[in-house]
Amino acid sequence: MEEDGSSGFIERPGADRQWYDLFSRGARDWLRHNDKVRSAVRERLPELIANSDVLPRADSTVQVPVRFLEHSRFRLRDPGQQEGVGQGEGKPGDQLTGPAEQREGKGAGGNDEGGYQFVLELKIDDIVDWLWEELKLPNLKVKSGAVRNEDYQREGWSRRGVRSRLDRRRSLKEAIKRRAVQPDGAAFTDDDLRYRQLSLRKRPATEAVVFFAMDVSSSMTDHDRKLAKSFFFWVVQGLRRQYTHIEPVFVAHTIEAWEFPEQEFFQVSGSGGTVASAAFRKILDIAAQRYDPGRFNIYTFYASDGANFRHDREAAQAALAELGEIVNFIGYVETAPAAQQALSTETSALFEQLQADTGVAGRYGLSTPESVWDAIRAFFTQQADVEV
Amino acid sequence: MTEALTRYAQRLEELAKEHGLDYYPVQFEEVPSSFMMEIAVYGLPVRMPHWSFGVRYIYQLIQHRMGHSRLFEVVFPGNPGRAYLARNNSLQENTLVTAHVLGHADFAKNNTLFKRSQEQVGYKIVEQAASHAREIGYAVEQHGQTRVEQVLDAALALEAHIDTVQPLRRERYPQYLEPSKTGRGGPFQSRFDNLPGGPVATDAPLERVRAPTPPAPERDLLWLIAEYAPDLEEWERDIFRAVREESFYFYPVFACQIMNEGWASYWHARLLREADFLPQNEYLDALKTHSDVVRPHAAEQQASLVVNPYHLGFSIWESIVEEHGIERAFQIRGEDDDFSFVRNYLSQELAEELKLFRYEQAADGSVRVLDHDIHALRETALAPKYNFGAPAVLATHIANDGSLELFHEHATDGRGLDLDRAERVLDYLHKMWRRPMALETIDTERRTKVLRRS
């Protein structure tokens, strides 16, 4: 090689210097890493939701502790003991104490960054968006027809009206227009005044109530509850996309039924047998007292392992039929240890009947966290098809 | 500040040349410390994008914030060489750094490993890496981030799996075995054939025999995939080639770290000592920086479990110059790498003086000092440097259906691969190879373990 030129300092013009300050490749690649973490977290969502104590609210965030992703390389298995060369005071046999320094795997092979954790904060809203994207869920249609709210809405202006509805800006404009053709006209006349006009409009109801009923008899295990809970959660989130206001109501039952606040609902455990009609009656009562089917869209979800008392069959069937008349939809979630066992029970048969009669019922078997996704997909697809 | 520094730099260069340092011109540039940190993370000022660099970057940032690491300079060999200094360093610090850089520049021009890599890779690695980054940027535009990232996941995972004994630009394997000179079956057979009454020698061409691929176990996995992966597209092969080229550049930096840092430290100390043009107080400040750089471990600690390569290299070079003279030192910097350097010149006395010890760290983190045996010390210090710091994974066979067999030389490495990581690397590779793959290693019970992809 010939030696061309000599050593020296490079002075960059101002613009170039700022480039260094403005652009960070490291930050760019770090953001890319975070994207990858997010999508990895996305795959673990059912698990995350199932493990929290209450259903997170839509405007809240979930904090997920995550490790840095590791770009894997071939490495030797960690030996039980690691040898190295150190420097300082030390005789054979000495135990070294004090702050142990990190052994850094520098150089091409080293990649020991796994030790740091950081917390990723995810908005529930974002998660729901991903979910929609991922599951390609159809938008569910709000039931049209009978369910309507009546309300006054602003509509145009009038020359007559009560003083409180006087639109000053509009009136002033009218006055200006008039004076443009009447140079000597009065500042204001009664004809200039404009009042806001209201008219009675009918709007589809945008409120919804969701009843969550759960069998808390002794046969329902923690695993069963977690599955039910994550299904409940995603249903609420999905319904929230349709309705401006949504109210969850929690009902637990064994042979009796009780309404619970959300915080306690998932911890409730009862003993004794299962009488599903108790829960259905309780829902009918609450609906009659607080949620007028004319104003509210009513959704009901019932989770159970399906072992209903045989002598309750008729009572349950009757109560279900009544429920079927007031709800937009009633879904039955059956938890089972294995997928093939689900939906072959007493309770399941009741819902099958209702589904055949009215078309407003659905049944889903839950056995693994993944099956929650299938159930969600089935629910929303069915809704979009049924309600036109 | 730069004016004074330019002046000092000129004087330091004159001094360096008087002492016989021989280097290509160096272009110095002062940059913000944030940029310095990125260079340290990427290994090059402009390099291909990959999320794993992002992780190293944050890691570095945390270390930096906690005050554990301070970067003084980064030098890239070449013609001209390039040196980046932190703009927020003091004049004294950067004066020392300038002298240090001259040491590196001399080393890079004269050390055999560096020479060889520059002859092959070229003298403008900074520009070459930037052009790789640009090409990969185009590939992202054309083929999408996901696909390009998959290629980089695989290629960068194999970064250390090259064969620097072979040239950077290699011929493909021969397709056919060379017909053996003595005809079929070796010398005995040919003597037998020549006996009277034997078969008549014909001129018919010998049947050509297809050579196996690879003919011998192959270390250079990056090359093998770039050239022999059955279903790769050309732009994907180019990414493997780009990563491989950069690896060839990184190898001497890795294999001579102790020598190279030591050499640069030796020269910054010596040049400053003799720089009578420096005002007294600036000399003292620079000297303080020197002792910070080459200190064995933080003062408040009893001992360190990592040997500072600056300090170790510096001490060895000082003892060499003292015992054998500067001419011999110049010769060693030309001919050795860390292996021979540590084995030949880290003497028992020096190790005692430096208080080096060998230790054992149990899985729970407790540390026990083992011994001061010089041979064991040297080998333990060098152990992480073998084979570019990676396990020896070789490609042993590509079958007719394109399936690939990989073999981990566990006998030389002493234990098996970390199986979780190996599985993940195999996942990366399988996305590129797109045919069946098998990787053989051993498990904790030393039984053969084969990981497969179909």
Instruction: Express each pLDDT in B60-116 by its tens digit.
Output: 887 777 665 566 788 899 988 999 988 888 888 888 889 999 999 999 999 999 999
- Would you give the end-to-end CA distance of chain B in angstroms? 62
Q: Residues of A69-88 as b/e, b for ≥16 C-beta within 10 angstroms? A: bebbbbbbbeeeeeebbbbb
Query: What number of other Cβ atoms are within 10 A of residue B65's Cβ?
Result: 9
Pick the closest to residue A362 from A303, A281, A286, A297 (CA basis): A303
Average pLDDT of span B321-347: 94
CA distance linking residue B304 with residue A89, whole number of Å: 9
Q: B115, B28 in Cβ contact below 8 A?
A: no
Residue A146 pLDDT? 47
CA distance linking residue B283 with residue A240, whole number of Å: 71
Q: Does the CB of A114 have a partner CB in chain B at under 8 Å?
A: no
Nearest CB neighbour to B358, from listed A20, A79, A83:
A83
Average pLDDT of span B45-71: 81
pLDDT band at A101 (very low <50, low <70, confident <90, very high): very low
Rounded to 5 degrees, what are φ and ψ at A115?
A: -70, -25
Pick the closest to residue A339 from A365, A306, A363 (CA basis): A365
Q: Strand B303-304 relative to strand A61-67: parallel, antiparallel, unpaired?
A: unpaired
CA distance linking residue A349 with residue A334, whole number of Å: 11
- More reliable by pLDDT, A129 or A333: A333
Q: How confident is the prediction for chain A on average, in pLDDT?
A: 75
Question: Which residues, including other chains, have CB under 8 Å from residue B301's CB and lie 6 or more apart?
Answer: A88, A98, A99, A101
Q: A40, A69 in Cβ contact below 8 A?
A: yes
Residue A16 pLDDT? 59
Question: Chain A contacts of B370, Cβ < 8 Å?
Answer: 83, 92
- More reliable by pLDDT, B12 or B33: B12
Rounded to 5 degrees, what are φ and ψ at B213?
A: -115, 125
Is the C-alpha dihedral spanning B34, B38, B43, B48 positive or negative?
Answer: negative
- Contact (CB<8Å) B50/A99: no
Q: Does the CB of A117 have a partner CB in chain B at under 8 Å?
A: no
Average pLDDT of span B148-168: 95
Pick the closest to residue B329 from B389, B398, B262 (CA basis): B262
Q: Strand A257-260 relative to strand A245-253: parallel, antiparallel, unpaired?
A: antiparallel
Q: Does the CB of B434 have a partner CB in chain A at under 8 Å?
A: no
In chain B, the residue whose alpha carbon lies closest to the alpha carbon of A108 is: B160
Burial classification of residue B406, based on how many CB atoms lie within 10 Å of its CB (0-12 exposed, 13-18 middle, 19 or more buried): buried
Between chain A and chain B, how many beta carbons pairs sit less than 8 Å apart?
A: 276
Surface of A (75-94) touching B: CB under 8 A: 75-94
CA distance linking residue B42 with residue B54, whole number of Å: 9
Query: What number of other Cβ atoms are within 10 A of residue A385's Cβ?
Result: 12
Is the C-alpha dihedral spanning B266, B41, B390, B117 positive or negative?
Answer: negative
Q: Does the CB of B12 have a partner CB in chain A at under 8 Å?
A: no
pLDDT band at B158 (very low <50, low <70, confident <90, very high): very high
CA distance linking residue B274 with residue A159, whole number of Å: 99
Q: Strand A8-9 relative to strand B393-398: parallel, antiparallel, unpaired?
A: unpaired
Residue A22 pLDDT? 60
* pLDDT tens, position by position, A243-271: 777 888 989 888 888 888 877 787 777 77
- Contact (CB<8Å) B160/A111: no
Average pLDDT of span A205-210: 76
Residue B25 pLDDT? 93
Residue A12 pLDDT? 67
Question: Which residues, including other chains, have CB under 8 Å from residue B236's CB and lie 6 or more apart?
Answer: B151, B229, B432
Q: List helix spans (H) across A67-161.
A: 124-135
Q: How confident is the prediction for chain B on average, in pLDDT?
A: 88
CA distance linking residue A189 with residue A179, whole number of Å: 11
Average pLDDT of span A354-380: 79
- More reliable by pLDDT, B250 or B301: B250
Percent of chain B with pLDDT over 70: 93
CA distance linking residue B374 with residue B360, whole number of Å: 16
Pick the closest to residue B48 from B109, B126, B174, B137 (CA basis): B137
pLDDT band at A102 (very low <50, low <70, confident <90, very high): very low
Q: Which of A128-132, B83-87, B245-249 has the highest mean pLDDT?
A: B245-249
CA distance linking residue B84 with residue B74, whole number of Å: 5
Average pLDDT of span B193-198: 75
pLDDT band at B313 (very low <50, low <70, confident <90, very high): very high
Q: Chain A closest CA to B207's CA: distance in Å?
A: 41
Residue B398 carries which side chain, given as an amino acid letter? I
In three-state secondary structure terms, A91 is coil
CA distance linking residue A330 with residue A364, whole number of Å: 11
- Contact (CB<8Å) A104/B306: yes
pLDDT band at A207 (very low <50, low <70, confident <90, very high): confident
Percent of chain A with pLDDT over 90: 5
Residue A387 pLDDT? 46
- Contact (CB<8Å) A100/B365: yes
- More reliable by pLDDT, A206 or A19: A206
Q: Chain A closest CA to B328's CA: distance in Å?
A: 25
**pLDDT of residue A110 exceeding 60:** no
* pLDDT tens, position by position, A133-157: 666 555 555 554 444 556 777 888 8
**The two structure tokens encoding residue B102:** 């001259």
Give the pTM: 0.71
Pick the closest to residue B81 from B103, B48, B62 (CA basis): B103
In angstroms, the Cα distances linking A55 to A246, A325, B50 are: 14, 28, 37
Evaluate whether ipTM surpasses 0.90.
no
**The two structure tokens encoding residue A65:** 């502790």
Q: Does the CB of B219 have a partner CB in chain A at under 8 Å?
A: no
Q: Chain B closest CA to A153's CA: distance in Å?
A: 50
Q: Does the CB of A309 have a partner CB in chain B at under 8 Å?
A: no
Average pLDDT of span B173-181: 77
Surface of A (140-179) touching B: CB under 8 A: none
Any bridge partners for residue A8, and if so which? B27
Pick the closest to residue A248 from A257, A237, A256, A258 (CA basis): A237
Percent of chain B with pLDDT over 90: 58
Residue A116 pLDDT? 59
Residue B204 pLDDT? 59
pLDDT band at A378 (very low <50, low <70, confident <90, very high): confident
Q: B84, B73 in Cβ contact below 8 A?
A: yes
Residue A112 pLDDT? 42
Listed range (A201-205, A231-235, A370-374) with the worst mean pLDDT: A201-205
CA distance linking residue B49 with residue B140, whole number of Å: 10
Nearest CB neighbour to A26, from listed B38, B414, B422:
B38
CA distance linking residue B59 with residue B51, whole number of Å: 13
pLDDT band at B326 (very low <50, low <70, confident <90, very high): very high
